[in-house]
Amino acid sequence: MKPKDKYLNFYYETVKEHGELKLDPQKTALLIVDMQNEFVLRDFGEALQFKEAGEWERWIPFHDRLDDIVIPNNKKLLDYFRANNMVVTFGRIACLREDGEDRSPVQKSEGWNNMLMPVNSYAAQMIDELAPLENEIVVNKTTDSVTTGTNYLTLLRFMGIETVVVTGIVTDQCVASTVRGLADDGFKVICVEDACAAGSMELHDAELKIMSVIYCDVLTADETIETIEKNKKKKSA
Protein backbone atom coordinates (compact mmCIF):
# COMPACT_ATOMS: atom_id res chain seq x y z
CA MET A 1 0.00 0.00 0.00
CA LYS A 2 1.54 3.28 -1.11
CA PRO A 3 0.88 6.48 0.86
CA LYS A 4 -1.01 9.09 -1.15
CA ASP A 5 1.32 11.61 -2.77
CA LYS A 6 -0.76 14.43 -1.30
CA TYR A 7 -0.07 13.20 2.22
CA LEU A 8 3.43 11.78 1.70
CA ASN A 9 5.59 13.27 4.44
CA PHE A 10 9.37 13.59 4.74
CA TYR A 11 9.77 10.39 6.70
CA TYR A 12 8.21 8.21 4.02
CA GLU A 13 9.39 9.90 0.83
CA THR A 14 11.78 7.01 0.13
CA VAL A 15 9.41 4.21 1.20
CA LYS A 16 7.41 2.89 -1.74
CA GLU A 17 5.18 0.53 0.23
CA HIS A 18 4.29 0.22 3.91
CA GLY A 19 2.27 -3.00 3.85
CA GLU A 20 -1.32 -3.85 3.09
CA LEU A 21 -3.95 -2.54 5.48
CA LYS A 22 -5.34 -5.58 7.28
CA LEU A 23 -8.26 -5.40 9.68
CA ASP A 24 -11.03 -7.50 11.15
CA PRO A 25 -14.39 -5.81 10.39
CA GLN A 26 -15.92 -7.16 13.59
CA LYS A 27 -13.03 -5.68 15.56
CA THR A 28 -13.32 -2.27 13.88
CA ALA A 29 -15.13 0.74 15.36
CA LEU A 30 -16.24 4.07 13.95
CA LEU A 31 -15.45 7.14 16.04
CA ILE A 32 -17.14 10.43 15.15
CA VAL A 33 -15.48 13.36 16.92
CA ASP A 34 -17.17 16.63 17.93
CA MET A 35 -19.77 16.85 15.17
CA GLN A 36 -21.90 18.87 17.57
CA ASN A 37 -24.54 21.56 17.23
CA GLU A 38 -22.20 24.17 18.72
CA PHE A 39 -19.63 23.80 15.95
CA VAL A 40 -21.58 22.61 12.90
CA LEU A 41 -24.80 24.63 12.71
CA ARG A 42 -24.82 27.91 10.79
CA ASP A 43 -27.56 29.52 12.88
CA PHE A 44 -26.37 28.60 16.37
CA GLY A 45 -23.36 28.52 18.63
CA GLU A 46 -19.99 29.51 17.22
CA ALA A 47 -21.46 30.62 13.91
CA LEU A 48 -23.49 33.33 15.68
CA GLN A 49 -20.39 34.45 17.58
CA PHE A 50 -18.42 34.71 14.34
CA LYS A 51 -21.21 36.76 12.76
CA GLU A 52 -21.38 39.10 15.75
CA ALA A 53 -17.60 39.53 15.64
CA GLY A 54 -17.68 40.33 11.93
CA GLU A 55 -15.56 37.35 10.91
CA TRP A 56 -18.21 35.05 9.46
CA GLU A 57 -16.93 35.37 5.89
CA ARG A 58 -13.70 33.52 6.61
CA TRP A 59 -15.60 30.63 8.19
CA ILE A 60 -17.96 30.08 5.26
CA PRO A 61 -15.57 27.67 3.42
CA PHE A 62 -15.37 25.55 6.59
CA HIS A 63 -19.15 25.33 6.85
CA ASP A 64 -19.51 24.70 3.12
CA ARG A 65 -17.13 21.75 3.46
CA LEU A 66 -19.10 20.45 6.44
CA ASP A 67 -22.43 20.65 4.62
CA ASP A 68 -21.29 19.48 1.19
CA ILE A 69 -18.63 16.87 2.02
CA VAL A 70 -18.04 16.04 5.67
CA ILE A 71 -21.59 15.46 6.92
CA PRO A 72 -22.61 13.33 3.88
CA ASN A 73 -19.49 11.17 4.23
CA ASN A 74 -19.96 10.76 7.97
CA LYS A 75 -23.54 9.70 7.27
CA LYS A 76 -22.33 7.24 4.62
CA LEU A 77 -19.91 5.65 7.07
CA LEU A 78 -22.44 5.68 9.90
CA ASP A 79 -25.06 3.96 7.74
CA TYR A 80 -22.50 1.37 6.60
CA PHE A 81 -21.34 0.53 10.12
CA ARG A 82 -24.91 0.25 11.37
CA ALA A 83 -26.00 -1.88 8.43
CA ASN A 84 -23.10 -4.25 9.06
CA ASN A 85 -23.65 -4.43 12.81
CA MET A 86 -20.26 -2.86 13.52
CA VAL A 87 -19.36 -0.80 16.58
CA VAL A 88 -20.29 2.88 16.45
CA THR A 89 -18.89 5.39 18.95
CA PHE A 90 -18.93 9.14 19.42
CA GLY A 91 -16.63 11.54 21.22
CA ARG A 92 -17.94 14.97 22.16
CA ILE A 93 -16.92 18.00 24.18
CA ALA A 94 -19.27 18.11 27.16
CA CYS A 95 -18.70 19.09 30.77
CA LEU A 96 -20.59 17.43 33.60
CA ARG A 97 -21.00 20.59 35.68
CA GLU A 98 -23.08 23.55 34.57
CA ASP A 99 -20.29 25.94 35.57
CA GLY A 100 -17.72 23.94 33.59
CA GLU A 101 -15.29 23.60 36.48
CA ASP A 102 -14.55 20.02 35.39
CA ARG A 103 -13.11 21.26 32.08
CA SER A 104 -9.41 21.02 31.34
CA PRO A 105 -7.34 24.23 31.60
CA VAL A 106 -7.20 24.33 27.78
CA GLN A 107 -10.98 24.53 27.55
CA LYS A 108 -11.09 27.18 30.27
CA SER A 109 -8.55 29.36 28.47
CA GLU A 110 -9.48 32.61 26.77
CA GLY A 111 -10.14 32.63 23.03
CA TRP A 112 -11.40 30.04 20.59
CA ASN A 113 -10.78 27.07 22.92
CA ASN A 114 -12.97 28.49 25.70
CA MET A 115 -15.92 26.12 25.37
CA LEU A 116 -18.66 25.77 27.98
CA MET A 117 -21.08 23.04 26.92
CA PRO A 118 -22.84 21.20 29.75
CA VAL A 119 -23.56 17.60 28.87
CA ASN A 120 -27.35 18.02 28.56
CA SER A 121 -27.25 21.29 26.61
CA TYR A 122 -28.39 21.62 23.02
CA ALA A 123 -24.91 22.85 22.10
CA ALA A 124 -23.27 19.60 23.24
CA GLN A 125 -25.51 17.25 21.24
CA MET A 126 -24.33 15.63 18.03
CA ILE A 127 -26.08 17.09 14.96
CA ASP A 128 -29.37 15.47 13.97
CA GLU A 129 -27.92 13.77 10.88
CA LEU A 130 -25.39 11.94 13.07
CA ALA A 131 -27.40 11.48 16.25
CA PRO A 132 -26.41 8.39 18.25
CA LEU A 133 -28.83 5.52 18.50
CA GLU A 134 -29.55 3.56 21.64
CA ASN A 135 -26.70 1.13 22.37
CA GLU A 136 -24.10 3.32 20.63
CA ILE A 137 -21.37 4.64 22.91
CA VAL A 138 -21.03 8.39 23.52
CA VAL A 139 -17.91 9.50 25.38
CA ASN A 140 -17.96 12.93 27.02
CA LYS A 141 -14.63 14.73 27.18
CA THR A 142 -13.38 17.93 28.73
CA THR A 143 -10.14 17.68 26.76
CA ASP A 144 -9.31 17.73 23.05
CA SER A 145 -8.48 14.03 22.70
CA VAL A 146 -11.19 11.41 23.13
CA THR A 147 -8.52 9.15 24.65
CA THR A 148 -7.35 11.54 27.37
CA GLY A 149 -9.20 11.70 30.67
CA THR A 150 -11.91 9.28 29.52
CA ASN A 151 -12.52 5.53 29.64
CA TYR A 152 -12.67 5.27 25.84
CA LEU A 153 -9.54 3.12 25.43
CA THR A 154 -10.76 0.76 28.14
CA LEU A 155 -14.15 0.42 26.44
CA LEU A 156 -12.49 -0.43 23.11
CA ARG A 157 -10.44 -3.16 24.75
CA PHE A 158 -13.45 -4.60 26.56
CA MET A 159 -15.21 -4.84 23.17
CA GLY A 160 -12.20 -6.43 21.49
CA ILE A 161 -11.68 -3.52 19.07
CA GLU A 162 -8.37 -3.38 17.19
CA THR A 163 -8.98 -0.75 14.49
CA VAL A 164 -10.67 2.65 14.80
CA VAL A 165 -12.00 4.70 11.89
CA VAL A 166 -11.82 8.35 12.96
CA THR A 167 -13.86 11.23 11.50
CA GLY A 168 -14.95 14.67 12.65
CA ILE A 169 -13.66 18.10 13.56
CA VAL A 170 -11.32 19.77 13.69
CA THR A 171 -8.63 17.80 11.88
CA ASP A 172 -5.64 19.58 13.40
CA GLN A 173 -6.88 19.60 16.98
CA CYS A 174 -9.37 17.13 18.49
CA VAL A 175 -9.16 14.67 15.59
CA ALA A 176 -5.36 14.73 15.48
CA SER A 177 -4.89 14.36 19.23
CA THR A 178 -7.36 11.46 19.24
CA VAL A 179 -5.60 9.72 16.34
CA ARG A 180 -2.26 10.01 18.12
CA GLY A 181 -3.72 8.75 21.39
CA LEU A 182 -5.20 5.70 19.70
CA ALA A 183 -2.01 4.94 17.77
CA ASP A 184 0.21 5.33 20.82
CA ASP A 185 -2.02 2.90 22.68
CA GLY A 186 -1.65 0.22 20.03
CA PHE A 187 -4.75 0.61 17.89
CA LYS A 188 -4.72 0.67 14.11
CA VAL A 189 -6.22 3.95 12.93
CA ILE A 190 -7.86 5.10 9.71
CA CYS A 191 -8.41 8.84 9.45
CA VAL A 192 -11.05 9.59 6.83
CA GLU A 193 -9.87 12.64 4.89
CA ASP A 194 -13.22 13.60 3.38
CA ALA A 195 -15.10 13.08 6.65
CA CYS A 196 -12.95 15.59 8.54
CA ALA A 197 -12.48 19.35 8.39
CA ALA A 198 -10.25 22.04 9.85
CA GLY A 199 -10.66 25.80 9.92
CA SER A 200 -8.81 25.93 6.61
CA MET A 201 -7.85 23.36 3.97
CA GLU A 202 -4.21 24.32 4.57
CA LEU A 203 -4.45 23.17 8.18
CA HIS A 204 -6.46 20.07 7.22
CA ASP A 205 -3.99 18.90 4.59
CA ALA A 206 -0.93 19.75 6.68
CA GLU A 207 -2.15 17.73 9.66
CA LEU A 208 -3.04 14.70 7.56
CA LYS A 209 0.38 14.86 5.91
CA ILE A 210 2.05 14.91 9.32
CA MET A 211 0.02 11.94 10.62
CA SER A 212 -0.03 9.80 7.48
CA VAL A 213 1.50 6.32 7.93
CA ILE A 214 3.16 7.31 11.22
CA TYR A 215 -0.10 7.44 13.17
CA CYS A 216 -2.80 6.43 10.72
CA ASP A 217 -3.78 5.44 7.21
CA VAL A 218 -5.42 8.38 5.45
CA LEU A 219 -8.32 7.17 3.29
CA THR A 220 -11.52 8.57 1.82
CA ALA A 221 -14.91 7.33 3.03
CA ASP A 222 -15.30 5.18 -0.09
CA GLU A 223 -11.79 3.75 0.29
CA THR A 224 -12.51 2.96 3.93
CA ILE A 225 -15.64 1.01 3.02
CA GLU A 226 -13.81 -0.74 0.18
CA THR A 227 -11.02 -1.73 2.58
CA ILE A 228 -13.47 -3.16 5.08
CA GLU A 229 -15.33 -5.06 2.35
CA LYS A 230 -12.06 -6.44 0.99
CA ASN A 231 -11.02 -7.70 4.42
CA LYS A 232 -14.50 -9.08 5.04
CA LYS A 233 -14.25 -11.20 1.87
CA LYS A 234 -10.80 -12.44 2.85
CA LYS A 235 -12.04 -13.49 6.25
CA SER A 236 -15.01 -15.40 4.82
CA ALA A 237 -12.94 -17.10 2.09
Q: What are 78-135's pLDDT values in tens digits?
A: 999 999 999 999 999 999 999 888 888 877 776 666 678 999 999 999 999 999 999 9
Give the mean pLDDT of 36-58: 96
Q: Is residue 214 part of a domain?
A: yes
Question: Per the domain annotation, does 145 fall within a domain?
Answer: yes
pLDDT at 1: 67
pLDDT computed for residue 121 by the predictor: 96
Residue 20 lies in a domain: no
Distance CA 86, CA 15 (A): 33
Share of the chain above pLDDT 70, in %: 97
The pLDDT value given to residue 4 = 81
Chain segment 183-229, per-residue pLDDT in tens = 999 999 999 999 999 999 999 999 999 999 999 999 999 999 999 99
Residue 176 sits in a domain of what CATH number?
A: 3.40.50.850
* Residue 18 phi, psi (nearest 5): -130, 25
- For residue 223, being part of any structural domain is answered with yes
Q: Strand order in 217-219's β-sheet?
A: 137-141, 87-93, 28-33, 163-169, 188-197, 217-219
Using alpha carbons only, give the angle 116, 119, 120 rounded to the nearest 5 degrees.
115
pLDDT at 22 over 80: yes
Domain contains 102: yes
Whether the per-residue pLDDT at 144 is higher than 80: the answer is: yes
* pLDDT tens per residue across span 54-86: 999 999 999 999 999 999 999 999 999 999 999
The pLDDT score that the predictor gives to residue 164 is 98
| pLDDT value of position 112 | 60
**Is 155 a member of any domain?**
yes
Q: How many domains does the chain have?
A: 1
Is position 207 within any domain? yes
Q: How far is CA 69 from CA 25, 74, 195, in A?
A: 25, 9, 7
Q: Which residues contact 108 (CB under 8 A, 6 or more apart)?
A: 100, 114
DSSP string, 136-164: -EEEEESSSSTTSSSSHHHHHHHTT--EE
- Asked if residue 210 belongs to a domain, the reply is yes
Provide the domain limits for residue 55: 5-10+25-236
Contact 117, 93 (CB under 8 A): yes
CB atoms within 10 A of CB 198: 21
